[in-house]
């Protein structure tokens, strides 16, 4: 079968491409710049790539950019979307590529009758950011939606971009009878295939790079291999539908720091938070729906070890 992966050179997408090739798929991979050897080398080296990986140039903001790549595909994995935290202009840097880009890809899917299902990489960012209190007893699940106004008021622009993009995707899919499934991972950790540092791996690098403090924040965490696998299961399992939250464990950065200190006693891992406020509370995220996809939920300790080993191998740290 032929499938398309958008933003194929990214952290999560690279693992999706790897697993798809392993499973015998022909993969049409979109990238912004097919001439960027450094960004693509790891994909071209994957097993099966020579025979079954085809690169296409496509940009989220260029109309009809995805028409020719999607045409004839059985499934589409739309992962491309900026995950950046320090932005000057949220509209152009985050919201436009996320929202307009998603609609652009879905419009191409409507034009191609071969497309049976679209799997969208959404996020817990589109699930958990609203006024509802998050405390240790609270279980966040797929019925939760982030509130755009809450995101705007708090200036959490990446969360806003994922919330608006997923919402727009559901509306468009309904109006145009697209079989859409979303995968909503929390912060993704685990080994990097790509050469460039992505935002969630950078959060771990910051804990072992001599920083004085860790962020006073609490996130869900999930291994990139579980995330890639969930995308493929969400596509292959005919009865899969709706959203799938993916979180192995919710943990404050202080807990990550402790795990890293235990794993790597010689590293200088920060012992205090970046502010004196009480630690941001932990909460739970339901695993029930994700379990129906057969997700393994690799433990956070293993994921953190894999991340650090990968960061060492790629010379981001010693
Ligand atoms: P990366 O930064 O590694 O990858 C982002 C990808 O998006 C890149 O391939 C990039 O392409 C592409 N992209 C960004 N802007 C544009 C644009 N204007 N036009 C075309 N392509 C663009 O990030 P991740 O792998 O972490 O993220 C992938 C997806 O997963 C995103 O949708 C993100 O929101 C989501 N996600 C990530 C989580 C995480 O913790 N990592 C958690 C939950 C969801 P290029 O190579 O050309 O720059």
pLDDT digits (tens, 9 = 90+) for 26-60: 999 999 999 999 999 999 999 999 999 999 999 99
Report, as an integer, the average pLDDT of 188-198.
97
**Least confident window among 148-152, 209-213, 240-244:** 209-213
| Ligand 1 atom at minimal distance to the Cα of residue 162 | 34
Q: Is 130 close to ligand 1, i.e. is its CB under 6 Å away?
A: no
pLDDT at 100 over 90: yes
C-beta of residue 18 within 8 angstroms of C-beta of residue 193: yes
Report in angstroms the alpha-carbon separations of 101 from 105, 134, 158, 223. Answer: 6, 31, 15, 26
Atom of ligand 1 lying closest to residue 187 CA: 40
Using pLDDT thresholds of 50, 70 and 90, give the confidence band for residue 202: very high
Q: Tell me, using a 6 A CB cutoff, whether residue 120 lines ligand 1.
A: no
Q: Which residues are catalytic, by number?
A: 162
> Ligand 1, from 4, 6, 9, 12: best to mutate by most atoms within 8 Å of Cβ?
12
Residue 10 CA to ligand 1 centre (angstroms): 6
Check residue 115 and give its pLDDT: 98
pLDDT over 90 (residue 210): no
CA distance 228 to 255: 25
Q: Is it the case that residue 318 has pLDDT exceeding 90?
A: no
For residue 223 and ligand 1, the question of a CB distance below 6 A is answered with no
ipTM: 0.98
Is there an atom of ligand 1 within 6 Å of 123 CB?
Answer: yes
Smallest CA-to-CA distance from 183 within 105, 250, 120, 118 is with 120
| pTM for the full predicted model | 0.98
- Which atom from ligand 1 is nearest to the alpha carbon of 96? 18
7 lines ligand 1 (CB under 6 A): yes
């Amino acid at each position: 079968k032929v499938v398309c992966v958008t933003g194929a050179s990214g952290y999560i997408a690279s693992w999706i491409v790897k697993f798809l090739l392993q499973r015998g798929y022909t993969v049409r991979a979109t990238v912004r710049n097919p001439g960027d050897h450094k960004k693509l080398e790891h994909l071209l080296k994957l097993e099966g790539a020579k025979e079954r990986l085809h690169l296409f140039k496509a940009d989220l903001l260029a109309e009809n950019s995805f028409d020719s790549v999607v045409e004839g595909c059985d499934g589409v994995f739309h992962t491309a979307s900026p995950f950046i935290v320090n932005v000057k202009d949220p509209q152009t840097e985050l919201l436009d590529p996320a929202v307009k880009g998603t609609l652009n890809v879905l419009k191409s899917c409507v034009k191609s009758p071969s497309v049976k299902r679209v799997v969208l990489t959404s996020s817990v960012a589109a699930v958990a950011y609203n006024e509802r209190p998050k405390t240790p007893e609270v279980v966040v699940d797929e019925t939760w939606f982030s509130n755009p106004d809450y995101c705007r008021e708090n200036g959490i622009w990446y969360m806003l971009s994922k919330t608006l993009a997923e919402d727009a995707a559901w509306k468009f899919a309904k109006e145009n009878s697209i079989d859409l499934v979303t995968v909503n991972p929390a912060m993704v950790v685990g080994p990097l295939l790509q050469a460039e540092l992505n935002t969630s791996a950078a959060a771990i690098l910051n804990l072992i790079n001599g920083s004085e403090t860790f962020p006073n924040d609490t996130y869900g965490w999930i291994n990139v291999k579980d995330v890639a696998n969930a995308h493929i299961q969400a596509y292959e399992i005919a009865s899969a539908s709706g959203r799938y939250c993916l979180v192995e464990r919710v943990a404050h950065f202080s807990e990550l720091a402790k795990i890293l200190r235990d794993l790597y006693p010689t590293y200088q891992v920060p012992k205090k938070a970046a502010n004196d406020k009480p630690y941001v509370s932990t909460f739970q995220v339901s695993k029930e729906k994700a379990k129906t996809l057969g997700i393994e939920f690799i433990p956070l300790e293993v994921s953190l070890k894999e991340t650090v080993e990968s960061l060492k191998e790629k010379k981001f740290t010693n």
